[in-house]
Amino acid sequence: MGRYPAGSPGWRDKVTGQANYGADFSLPGMITGRVLRSPHAHARIVSIDTTEAGKLAGVRAVVTAADFPDLPSEVVAGGESPVNYRYISCNAIARDKVLYEGHAVAAVAAISAGVAEQALKLIRVEYEVLPHVIDVRDAMRDDAPLLHDNLYTEGVDPKPTKPSNIAKRTEFLLGDPAAGFAESEIILERSYTTQPVHQGYIEPHACVASVAADGMTTVWSSSQGQFMVREFCAKLLKIADSDIRVLPAEIGGGFGGKTTVYLEPLAIALSRKSGRPVKMVMSREEVFKASGPTSGGVLQVKLGARRDGTLVAAECELAYQAGAFPGSPAIPGCMTAFACYDIPNARTVGYDVVSNRPKCAAYRAPGAPMAAFAVESALDELALELGMDPVELRLKNAAKEGTRALYGPKMPVIGFVETLEAARAHAHYNTPLKANQGRGIASGFWFNIGGQSSAAVHINEDGTAEVVTGNPDIGGSRASMAIMAAEVLGIDYAKVKPLIGDTASVGYCFLTGGSRVTFATGKAVVEAANDVVQQLRARAAKIWKCEVDEVIWKDGVAHPAQGQTDTRTQLSLAEIAASAARTGGPISGKASLNVGGAGPGFGTHLCDVEVDPETGRVTVLRYTVIQDVGRAIHPGYVEGQMQGGAAQGIGWALNEEYVYDDQGRLQNSGFLDYRMPVASDLPMIDAVLVEVPNPAHPFGVRGVGEVPIVPPLAAVANAVARASGVRVNDLPISPPRLLAALMK
């Protein structure tokens, strides 16, 4: 499908900033909301007095947790991952306690940002400051300050009698690891740590909420799912789904971090109280202090193998920071850790640990990159110890169709071996290195998901088409939707316009995440387009006065079926569209599905670095991402996903971290101090698309967006280790840390 233009509809507007993002909506009478945030990492809220703030001229509303329903703790909904609405509510606005610096305590709406800021200063909050804990290992200690008095570790036997910061223990087991290690000829055991990293989307969280006189609530916001925003706000504010309409803004990056709500419930509460539309926009400092990031983790890996490289046993124990409320990606960490390999005896144990940091949010392949960092680093050491080529070691143990995964299922058709073979054959892998240079290789896995999606395809009178779905386009999915619809309809891509509907005008779509959109929503688009084709055939049959099955649809044209002796000429989609009123009315197709059969994704990355032995600075010289992409609907955007994931992973590996002072206050809440890679930091990242079509999708699609962030942490670390001879198992491998290691 390479005959399509480079950009998704609207790309020019995105590039020039003309697109309308969350902060770009305005309504008459609109006022501005601002949030009062906790200066403490951990404190009890003794009292909040908003009297003076409410009296300030120009202030229209002040809200605190008292304005929100006190949801029961057990409110947990299904979906891709369990959701505890009490936690989301208490994270959006603190109830009783603040659990991290930046935790929202109150919000004000006023006629200007200046007045709102002034009002924040008039809110008197009396805090009882409590001891805090930032790091995961500290938080797991018996004597650690407790964030939640009523949090008892789940998943342990017997049930604990005293509360803990460990929210949950999870274990996955396959075979008999102890026996496996006993028969291993070589055993390698290592510890690793990773730092929390922020998704780093360019656009801060922003929304406008407007509550009508009859309670009907409209929200414009930038998120990864307008239906998610609706559902969460409905639950947090006890509003019926039908009484909230959420209109999606163009989104300036999400990477998982916009799969929950922060400002929207506050803006709704403020609008409801003031009777005015309320706009709220986070500053970058607020983004860092009160949204995202993904967990930092502490991991231990143990590998047992034969001398020929066959993995016999493996164990991984990981503890992930959840931030202030339970919900780290420890479970997917456990599930993905060994998913690339066919290991008969394996166990993963995960701990979900709260500490006085912002509640973690999903971040591209949640939980997987940290686990892969540990496992793929250990594998690299194993390869070195065995004297094996690291690609060969992986090929020897690679998961294939039918491999039983530790977390349960047997692998369907997958393309991991193909990525390893492509890596081995790639010029990158066979280019000599110079002094202080090293080449790292690492692989990675992500499940990819399907789930609920809806789509509608409307045929216009002039033969053009609209394709409507309910998924924000983060990575170019509009282009993919239009391409698939154009293929099914048999018309030119330029005639198909993909659009993202609001929650009221399109059927339900689960959020944009899990690398699901081109796969699952794409399948809904294909079915909706097929629905249209059926109707087009029926219209042609009506015009020709024949049966529908005497009409064939091909290349955008109705033909009489083979064997029909008829001399009737063909009818193009445009011709049928033009006469639609006379043949039964408008032509629209739709589909609503719960899509299964997502094809798991695998990637193998090659990374060359040069280490400056005098400063510890690492320069990425060359980087190649090789990935089984199923079938690339829009190859340009697939490459973009692969490059973007690698870039984020390189930042994670080399520079990104949160720096806290001893009061638990974040010291680097800005892009100058939180060091993400920029274009000049990186080489052109080469993307190799391996296509092993997913048989469960009509076009062979498998998700592509998350896999590429899984391997880079280890690929970089392995490259650094091979370049410098020193292995750093604690991320980020920043110059001071590497220099210290080199000095040792």
Residues that bind a second copy (CB under 8 A): 7, 9-13, 16, 18-20, 24, 26-29, 78, 212-214, 216, 231, 234, 240-243, 245, 275, 451-454, 456, 458, 460-462, 464-466, 468, 495-497, 499, 501-509, 580-582, 584-588, 590, 592-595
Cβ proximity to a second copy, 78 vs 432, nearer residue: 78
Write down the least CB distance from residue 459 to a second copy, Å: 8
Q: Which two tokens stand for residue 718?
A: 């392995």
CA distances from 82 to 74, 79, 200, 363, 550 (A): 11, 6, 24, 16, 50
Q: Which is nearer to a second copy, 242 or 569 (CB)?
A: 242
Of the pair 522, 645, the CB lying nearest a second copy is at 522
Q: Label the pairing between strands 278-281 and 206-211.
A: antiparallel
CB of 56 to a second copy, least distance (A): 24
Strand order across the beta sheet in which 551-554 lies: 551-554, 557-560, 571-572
Distance from C-alpha of 692 to C-alpha of 704, rounded to nearest angstrom: 12
Q: Minimum distance between the CB of residue 9 and a second copy, rounded to whole angstroms?
A: 6
In terms of CB distance, is 12 or 400 closer to a second copy?
12
**CA-wise closest residue to 701 among 596, 626, 627, 631:** 631
Query: What span, in angstroms and rounded, lies between the C-alpha atoms of 599 and 696?
Result: 8
Distance of closest approach, residue 585 Cβ to a second copy, in angstroms: 4
Q: How far is the CB of 684 from a second copy (least distance, A)?
A: 26
590 closest CA partner among 454, 452, 456, 453 = 456
- Least CB distance from residue 36 to a second copy, whole Å? 27
Q: Shortest distance, CB of residue 27 to a second copy, whole angstroms?
A: 7
Tell me how far, at minimum, the Cβ of 578 lies from a second copy, in Å: 10
SS3 assignment for 569-633: CCEEHHHHHHCHHHHCCCEEEEEEEEECCCCCEEEEEEEEEEECCCCCCEEEEEEEEEEECCCCC
Least distance (Å) between residue 61 CB and a second copy: 16
Closest distance to a second copy from the beta carbon of 591 (Å): 9
Tell me how far the alpha carbon of residue 526 is from its chain's centroid. Answer: 24
* DSSP letter assigned to residue 154: B
Question: Which is nearer to a second copy, 373 or 510 (by Cβ)?
Answer: 510
Contacts 24+ apart (CB under 8 A), 459-463: 459/532, 459/536, 459/573, 459/577, 459/580, 459/586, 459/587, 459/588, 460/577, 461/577, 461/578, 461/580, 462/574, 462/577, 462/578, 463/491, 463/495, 463/572, 463/573, 463/574, 463/575, 463/577, 463/578
- The distance from CA 53 to its chain's CA centroid, rounded to whole angstroms, is 38
Q: In what order do the strands lie in the sheet with 217-221?
A: 59-64, 104-110, 31-37, 278-281, 206-211, 217-221, 244-248
CB atoms within 10 A of CB 189: 12
Q: Which is nearer to a second copy, 413 or 506 (CB)?
A: 506
Residue with smaller CB distance to a second copy, 76 or 212: 212
User: Quick one: 13 or 183, whose CB is closer to a second copy?
Assistant: 13
- Report the residue count for the chain: 744
User: Looking at beta carbons only, is 7 or 735 nearer to a second copy?
Assistant: 7
Q: Which is nearer to a second copy, 398 or 456 (CB)?
A: 456
Asked if residues 524 and 595 have their Cβ atoms less than 8 Å apart, the reply is: yes
When the beta carbons of 247 and 625 are compared against a second copy, the nearer one is 247
Q: How far is the CB of 286 from a second copy (least distance, A)?
A: 21
How many Å apart are CA 226 and CA 245, to the nearest integer?
9
Spatial separation of the C-alpha atoms in residues 159 and 156, rounded to whole Å: 6
Q: Which is nearer to a second copy, 53 or 244 (CB)?
A: 244
Distance CA 293, CA 666 (A): 13
Contact 295, 139 (CB under 8 A): no
C-beta closer to a second copy: residue 170 or 221: 221
What is the closest distance, in whole angstroms, from the C-beta atom of residue 109 to a second copy in the complex?
16
Do residues 665 and 189 touch, judged by C-beta distance below 8 A? no
Distance of closest approach, residue 204 Cβ to a second copy, in angstroms: 15
